[in-house]
Structure 1
């Protein structure tokens, strides 16, 4: 019993010391996870939030997993977005018809106002870490679906 009390006291002290440093931990599973809504995605997509934007850092992070053939609608980001592939092969396309393929460990910066889409290849799932900036409380401006023709162009 003494051992348990000592451990609890150490944890309480560590928790207090940690809070005093002004850091906040977002434990695994404490942020929301959801299926990508059909109004913004084609195919099966899961979004696992990692951390929210806050008053100082106007960006959030999430793992987004796309099953084969899944993709976002056309959209743009008011404060840009970094995409880092953590598993599989990603595709991202822009209005000029250019489609870029990037793989695990590679990243893409999508600047402010650039209409684009991203997703998995037709034959493989893909997960990427997205870090999305927020401006005036908005991280994304959604548009229409990406057609099969636009998606298959590469």
Structure 2
């Protein structure tokens, strides 16, 4: 057993990854050979990721609020606490808060020597976001 005491400050989500106010708390980042990392991501109303993809897939688990997510070419879906979303390997997608509600989710990602955890793409436009 290894207990890591909380010593990492909450990080503001970078503007080249997110639109709006997003805050990230590291939850898990075990050393190799583990490939998994997890972050608790707090999206303020209207905030969202840019389009992105994960070579080894991504799972998100909504813990509070109301969110939105979309895979490229699919409909915008509403997600709520307890919902689990699996984004398949290399599936372009975005996720974030609803326009008038915050949303918090646990994001679980994998990476290895050959595959980065995420590849960031273009911002989600207001038109794309407002399709919901």
TM-score, reference length from structure 2 = 0.93
1:108-147 aligned at under 5 Å gives the runs 108-136=85-113, 138-147=116-125
Alignment correspondent of 1:74 = 51
**More strand per residue: 1 or 2?**
2
Q: Does 1:94 align with 2:71?
A: yes
Higher helix share: 1
Larger Rg: 1
Q: Distance in 2 between matches of 1:95 and 1:135?
A: 25
* Matches of 2:3 and 2:116, distance apart in 1: 23
Which consecutive unaligned segments of at least 5 residues does structure 1 have? 1-22
Q: Does 1:26 align with 2:26?
A: no
- Which of 57, 60, 76 aligns to 2:37? It is 60
RMSD, matched Cα? 1.3
Q: Distance in 2 between matches of 1:35 and 1:97?
A: 29
- Gap regions ≥5 residues in structure 2: none
